[in-house]
Structure 1
Amino acid sequence: MKKILLLTDLSSDYNRKLLKGIVHYSKESCLWNFYRLPLYYKELYGAEGVIKWAKKWGADAIISQFDEIDIHLLTELNIPIIAQNYKERNKQTSNITGDYFNAGVMAANFFYRKGYRQFAYYDVKKTVWMRERGEGYISTIEKKGGEVILYNSSEEEQNEKLEVNHKNLRKWLENLPKPIALFACDDQHALHITELCKISGIHIPNEISVLGVDNDDLLCNISDPKLSSIELDVVNGGFLTGELLNSFFNKKVIPPVDVIIKPISIVTRESTERLVVSNKYVGQIIQYIEKNYAESISVKTIIDMVPMSRRVLEKTFKKETGTTIYQYIQLVRVEKFSRLLITTELSLIEAARMVGFSDYKNIFRIFQKFKNMSPGQYRKMHFHRGDENSL
């Protein structure tokens, strides 16, 4: 029976979900033994101490939150090591990392479709995940002709002497143009924003619309207002980490090979409820689509709702949202359909009908266009998320 040494922080929702996926793989396939060292062990004894303990226990692999790894020590240990990266990816070993860039792209497109044309990004220490989420967000906004206002972190924050400089952050928030769409690098940082906005009398979402990352249920729901967040495929990422380890053990692949955790969807709550569109009819149409996407609605139905010609309305709608009315309807349906695929056991036909797709064959073409894969491939990719509650 293989022995897996864990060196990770269990206080965060992300890490607990990750370990759930790893343990689920073990239960289903391998029945590994796990031993967890507390994080302070590394702080007290360094990587040398961790490796010494791994030898003593006879570990067959290590999954750890290493920031830096001494390649000579790794060679000496000669077992698979998967680093859960924090500051940067480790080139010497496998990483549990993320598609951080596309999380930023998802955030930018979400805000742009809601009509926002002023944007901000909040991070502090410029780690790989903070940096790349920001790069995805900023590059997408710039391609649309916009600019992103960045938070200038203080020296104390950069040197990790202070988690957040409340005075500096509060001043930045107060000076932002309003209304503005603010993307935070994760839910913890987004919570900093909602807390300080409350103290400063800045209204969310009317003045600042806030979106985080991780969909940490506790953090999102203690925020006032409740926080919208990008959900990541973390449990499935843990399962894939287990698969990767087993492939290492069976010599099917040779390390280093990375596990990349992808963003799935945006879970919307009160912090992003506001639409910012200058044309009241466009706002009316967006609200109608969001409410009635599961019904039999068409572009003609929508055009008949407002006192504008089709040509003028289509042009105005695209200017406000960056997409056509038809594409907006399909996008909303695809996002709702995607969520049903990975959170329910409904058949593809049943799930498609529930979100308003009446032509079953057509859904494959539409889904492929938006997700670059078939519905079946998408469900299979995220299959193990459904096992989260059974662990």
Structure 2
Amino acid sequence: MTKRDAPQRAQKAHRIALLFNANKVYDREIITGVGHYLLSTRIGWDVFLEEDFRCRLGGIERFDGDGIIADFDDPAVCEALSDCPLPVVAVGSSYEDASDYPADVPYIATDNTKLVSLAYTHLIGAGLTNFALYSLPLSQNNRWSHQRELAFARLRAADGRAPEAIDAEIYRGLSTSAPTWNQAIDQLTQWLHALPKPVGIIAVTDARARHLLQACLIAGIPVPEDVAIIGIDNDPLARTLTRIPLSSVAQGTEEMGRTAAHVLHQMLRGARFPGRRILVPPVGINVLESTKHRPVASPYVARARHFIRQYACRGIRTEQVADYVGVSRSSLEEHFRRELQCTIHQEILRQKLDAAKALLAKGDTSSADVAIRCGFTSLQYMYAVFRRELGCTPREFQDRAKMAVQ
């Protein structure tokens, strides 16, 4: 090789295989992210992708290329590339157990915990207090959906739900296909009817969210009045095929693709990142009609109100609310003033007052017992709150409620 030939050899385009099923929106957007990286950096890669966009592994060991970016959510892909001599960048789900990640390749992961947490916080912000998750049957190909179940279970446990209650809130159902369609709908409808209403349900994909919506429509369950639904993927096709527009969490898939391409680019220049893991958070939520139950703009206020709804009558204080939300008291107070035009203490007091009014209206509980059950420090304090906020005593409120019923 002459010196004249050397620059031409150095400028030869790298041949890169993308092992994804580009018929799925998740894979397609990752590929789009790879493409954006190539355009922004002007790297000359020759990209191989099956012409019908499906991932076929037959003969991949004979691929005469320079590198591979692959979907490691597919166990067959992991197996096929286990002894690959080429630089490989894995893309897939995040895992709670570090041993579930491949040890010898860099791994770009969608952050399942943040995906589910974002959806959960959104439903809380819609004013909901009951929650559930619609998942997929357990299988090696659906390992990522189980990770989303675990993330949901952690959130519910943090809010005080017992393990057996959380189990009832998670439903896997059947894999949908033409032969099992009616059976799947019937079983899903039974689960929906058994849930307390109103309820916010997180579906692990937009396809599952669409299935939920169809079951609700068939069963005559109002959406979002009784069941608010949010999916994950922000798939335009799912929105096109539904009569009620579906809210969805947008994954950071394009960022995953850009990051994977950047890592492979570095590897082709000699860098090595064995076992390196990069978690990519979601982009945000596309809020549509399926969750417009009672929206609140600030996630801090939403989470605070969720905590206050549960524990106001247990005598919680402002500091405990701020600790739960994870921000300073002053910052949370500012969010409350901006969003609700009140303080955290006033919101706690409002919840107590509403609970007291509901008990008094029933007519079978004494004022002293109401004060204790609703978290007032004394009967005298509850009387003072009633006079200030309602212009009457608790006994007078109870008498008015009785007369209204007669």
Common fold, TM-score beyond 0.5? yes
Change (3 A) 1:112 1:249: same
Aligned amino acid, residue 142 of structure 1:
A
Given that 1:125 and 1:158 are in contact with CA atoms closer than 8 Å, whether structure 2 keeps it comes out as no
Q: 2:40 aligned with 1:33, yes or no?
A: no
1:209 corresponding residue in structure 2: 228
Instruction: Give, in angstroms, the shift of residue 122 of structure 1.
Output: 0.5
Instruction: Give, in angstroms, the shift of residue 97 of structure 1.
Output: 2.3
Given that 2:110 and 2:252 are in contact with CA atoms closer than 8 Å, whether structure 1 keeps it comes out as no
Aligned amino acid, residue 120 of structure 2:
A
2:259 to 214, 217, 240: 240
1:138 to 147, 153, 177: 153
Q: 2:102 aligned with 1:91, yes or no?
A: yes
Aligned amino acid, residue 253 of structure 2:
V
Counterpart Cα distance in 2 of 1:117 and 1:298: 19
Change (3 A) 1:61 1:125: farther
Counterpart Cα distance in 2 of 1:139 and 1:151: 12
Counterpart Cα distance in 1 of 2:144 and 2:251: 13
Instruction: Give, in angstroms, the shift of residue 90 of structure 1.
Output: 4.8
Question: Map of 1:281-292 to 2, 5 A cutoff?
Answer: none
Counterpart Cα distance in 2 of 1:297 and 1:85: 36
Instruction: Give, in angstroms, the shift of residue 196 of structure 1.
Output: 1.2
Q: 2:66 aligned with 1:60, yes or no?
A: yes
2:129 to 117, 121, 136: 117
Change (3 A) 1:70 1:176: closer
Counterpart Cα distance in 2 of 1:300 and 1:19: 41
1:251 corresponding residue in structure 2: 270
Given that 2:135 and 2:204 are in contact with CA atoms closer than 8 Å, whether structure 1 keeps it comes out as yes
Change (3 A) 1:233 1:72: closer
- Aligned residue pairs: how many? 292
Taking structure 1 as the reference length, the TM-score comes to 0.64
Counterpart Cα distance in 1 of 2:335 and 2:171: 46
Give unmatched runs, 5+ long, in structure 1. Answer: 287-295, 321-391
Change (3 A) 1:24 1:310: closer
Find the residue that maps to 1:212 and give its secondary structure. strand
Instruction: Give, in angstroms, the shift of residue 16 of structure 1.
Output: 1.9
Q: Percent identity?
A: 22
Find the residue that maps to 2:245 and give its secondary structure. coil
Counterpart Cα distance in 1 of 2:77 and 2:127: 48
Counterpart Cα distance in 1 of 2:82 and 2:193: 52
2:190 to 171, 178, 181: 171
Instruction: Give, in angstroms, the shift of residue 23 of structure 1.
Output: 1.2
Change (3 A) 1:319 1:264: farther
2:394 corresponding residue in structure 1: none
Give unmatched runs, 5+ long, in structure 2. Answer: 1-12, 306-333, 355-406
Find the residue that maps to 1:79 and give its secondary structure. coil
Counterpart Cα distance in 2 of 1:212 and 1:319: 35
What is the RMSD of the two structures over their aligned residues, measured on CA atoms? 3.8
Given that 1:51 and 1:77 are in contact with CA atoms closer than 8 Å, whether structure 2 keeps it comes out as yes
Aligned amino acid, residue 349 of structure 2:
K
Instruction: Give, in angstroms, the shift of residue 298 of structure 1.
Output: 7.9
Counterpart Cα distance in 2 of 1:300 and 1:199: 41
Taking structure 2 as the reference length, the TM-score comes to 0.62
Change (3 A) 1:166 1:142: same
Higher gyration radius (CA):
2
Instruction: Give, in angstroms, the shift of residue 87 of structure 1.
Output: 11
Question: Map of 1:1-391 to 2, 5 A cutoff?
Answer: 1-29=13-41, 30-37=43-50, 42=56, 47=57, 49-52=59-62, 54=63, 58-66=64-72, 67-68=74-75, 74=81, 77-85=84-92, 90-92=101-103, 93-126=105-138, 127-146=142-161, 147-148=165-166, 149-153=168-172, 157=175, 165-275=184-294, 299=337, 303=341, 311-316=345-350
Counterpart Cα distance in 1 of 2:353 and 2:266: 50
Counterpart Cα distance in 1 of 2:335 and 2:78: 60
Given that 2:204 and 2:232 are in contact with CA atoms closer than 8 Å, whether structure 1 keeps it comes out as yes
Change (3 A) 1:68 1:39: farther
Q: Deviations over 1:65-119 (max 9, x none)?
A: 3523688964754102233447985515333421101211222222223332211
Counterpart Cα distance in 2 of 1:100 and 1:107: 11
Q: Deviations over 1:351-376 (max 9, x none)?
A: xxxxxxxxxxxxxxxxxxxxxxxxxx
